[in-house]
């Protein structure tokens, strides 16, 4: 039954018959025809929803009477053509969706949401663990009438464990996960990332898990409950730093802009600022010395291997800094590009979007006068569904 109902929906859209997809998303987007119900607000859940929307899913955002909190998280604000304003933050993670307003305490509104869930492919929610069960909107309740539903819960700490009922905020998770212990100058205080990286990566991981569950449903015919935790996602990103702990039994130190396992690899001064140099192996390091005209260091035993360069990190930094200061950033980066040495500028955000490479890739977009940054997917046989700006609160209630 599940597969037949979904096929009918697609055929109705193709024939121009009014269906749940009032304005068909791009037909050749990878997830065209997928219906997603988003009971999420702020960042991690909406980020997962926006990713699926960019991929072509019809994402119906269900907001409470007050709307998503981030609509008011300004300034700065984005002004629409009709003069209304919402926080730029809100527009960063809600593109491509439709919005309805529902008060779960209202019987009619709750019934409407349950009706939508009964025919949804995916549901995303980020309420406190167990809260939606009070309204019959938990996985077990909804799966009883829609066993093919892929239901993704996003919380700070997951559905199990001693902290499962606690609120999880990105800043708190960055501290708990080890991110802050690894970020900042060695003698400075621990620092958070400049982005809400725990929220954002949880959203990215969630969108990947949802698509994996959809593929599994294709094999089994059954949906499932996905349990995503901000803390789990952040711990999973520790990668080589976690392995350094496991290998040595010692906590990796904060390194500032240095690399724990590679040297020379960091920020270096030039005549008009700083640049990033990243010669990640012996061959690239030799190329860097040659283009800097420091061939005298090629035979220096202190720097002939990566292990030696790590041991003599400070001496090497001084030698290289003396050389890089003789160049302008533009000249040094051009020479590195010619020699094949990984290097780049340290851009402010306006410089990022003025970069010819970023412009060629079309990363900045505009929909109905509202700017945004597209999801970073490029397909050979599909395209993104970049056809809707972020919705006004309740804009699609009549649909």
Catalytic residues: 199
Six-digit token string for 373: 């940054």
* Parallel, antiparallel or unpaired: strands 58-63 and 97-101: parallel
Distance CA 310, CA 299 (A): 16
Residues in the chain: 399
Helix (H, G, I), strand (E, B) or coil at 269: strand
DSSP notation for 44-55: HHHHHHHHHHHT
Instruction: Give 155's contacts (C-beta < 8 A, 6+ positions apart).
Output: 126, 127, 128, 129, 164, 168, 228, 229, 230
Q: How far is CA 58 from CA 20, 32, 387, in A?
A: 9, 7, 11
Chain position carrying tokens 């001064």: 269
The backbone torsions φ and ψ at residue 270, rounded to the nearest 5 degrees and listed phi first, read -125, 180
Nearest-5° angle of CA 9, CA 14, CA 16? 95
- Nearest residue to 233 via CA among 208, 259, 256: 208
Which H helix or E strand runs over 35? strand 35-39
DSSP notation for 113-158: HHHHHHT-SEEEE-PPTTGGGGGT-SHHHHHTT-TT-EEEEEESS-
Instruction: Give 371's contacts (C-beta < 8 A, 6+ positions apart).
Output: 78, 364, 365
Whether the bond into 269 is cis, omega within 30 of 0: no
For residue 85, the cross-strand partners are: 79
First to last CA, the chain: 24
């Amino acid at each position: 039954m599940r597969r037949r109902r979904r096929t009918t929906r697609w055929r109705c859209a193709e024939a121009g018959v009014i269906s749940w997809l009032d304005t068909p998303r791009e037909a050749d987007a990878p997830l065209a025809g997928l219906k997603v119900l988003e009971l999420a607000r702020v960042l991690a859940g909406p980020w997962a929803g926006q990713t699926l929307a960019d991929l072509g899913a019809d994402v119906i955002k269900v907001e409470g009477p007050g709307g998503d909190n981030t609509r008011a998280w300004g300034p700065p604000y984005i002004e629409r053509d009709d003069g209304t304003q919402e926080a730029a933050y809100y527009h960063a993670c809600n593109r491509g969706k439709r919005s309805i307003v529902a008060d779960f305490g209202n019987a009619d509104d709750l019934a409407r949401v349950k009706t939508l869930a009964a025919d949804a492919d995916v549901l995303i929610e980020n309420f406190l663990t167990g809260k939606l069960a009070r309204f019959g909107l938990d996985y077990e309740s909804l799966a009883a009438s829609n066993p093919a539903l892929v239901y993704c819960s996003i919380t700070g700490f997951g559905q199990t464990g001693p902290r499962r009922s606690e609120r999880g905020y990105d800043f708190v998770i960055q501290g708990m996960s080890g991110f802050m212990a690894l970020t900042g100058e060695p003698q400075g205080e621990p620092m958070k990332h400049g982005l809400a990286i725990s929220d954002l990566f949880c959203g990215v991981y969630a969108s990947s898990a949802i698509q994996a569950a959809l593929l599994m449903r294709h094999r089994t015919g059954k949906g499932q409950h996905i349990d995503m935790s901000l803390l789990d996602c952040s711990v999973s990103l520790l990668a080589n730093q976690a392995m350094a702990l496991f290998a040595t039994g010692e906590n990796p130190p904060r390194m500032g802009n240095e690399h724990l396992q590679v040297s020379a690899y960091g920020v270096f001064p030039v005549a008009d600022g700083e640049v990033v140099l990243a010669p990640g192996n012996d061959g690239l390091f030799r190329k860097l010395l040659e283009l800097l005209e420091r061939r005298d260091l090629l035979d220096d035993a202190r720097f002939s291997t990566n292990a030696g360069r790590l041991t003599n990190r400070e001496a090497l930094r001084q030698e290289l800094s003396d050389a890089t200061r003789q160049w302008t950033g533009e000249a040094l980066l051009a020479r590195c590009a010619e020699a094949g040495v990984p290097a780049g500028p340290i851009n402010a955000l306006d410089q990022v979007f003025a970069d010819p490479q970023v412009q060629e890739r079309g990363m900045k977009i505009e929909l109905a006068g509202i700017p945004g940054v597209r999801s970073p997917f490029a397909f050979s046989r599909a395209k993104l569904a970049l056809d809707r700006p972020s919705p006004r609160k309740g804009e699609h209630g009549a649909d």
